[in-house]
Amino acid sequence: MLEVLAGLVAGLLIVAGILVMLGPNTKSLVRRIGVLRRRRPSLSAFQPTKPREVVATGLNPKTQRVLVAASRLGSWLRAHSHEEVARELRSAAGRMTSDEPSGLYAMQTVLRRLRTLSLDDRGAQERLRTLSNELREAVQDRFEQLELLPFRRP
């Protein structure tokens, strides 16, 4: 037991001597060692990627809402192998950033096409309906804000 204690004290004295010889560089060296120890390989290659919702800055908040809803719906459609409709939706969203009224009309055309899309899975059909309703409401709100639609009469 006494040998272990003497060895431990001798080791600590050697480490203290090395730290004294390093002088002012000790802090930066300790930080570098700490950073190296914290790095652990991430397993991100095995985790599914999260879809990014990229919205151009400087757009109206309701336009951004339309683009986010279109992005969600387009990602879902691509994941469920409806590439053609997802491509049309992406094209309409791209058109909105340059010419908003024509992009909104293109979105309405895609939404009409989505009504005819039917899926075998009931859960998937319900998710499609939820996402398309979210997009439809966002498009209607933006249409009303831009006053592109005629006013509804009761």
pLDDT per residue of the chain (154 residues) written in tens, 0 to 9: 889 999 999 999 998 888 788 787 777 777 777 776 665 555 555 666 666 555 556 788 888 999 999 999 999 999 888 899 999 999 999 998 888 889 999 999 999 998 888 888 888 889 989 999 999 999 999 888 887 655 454 4
Distance CA 136, CA 148 (A): 15
Rounded to two decimals, what is the model's pTM?
A: 0.58
Angle at alpha carbon of residue 55, lines to 97 and 113, rounded to 5°: 65
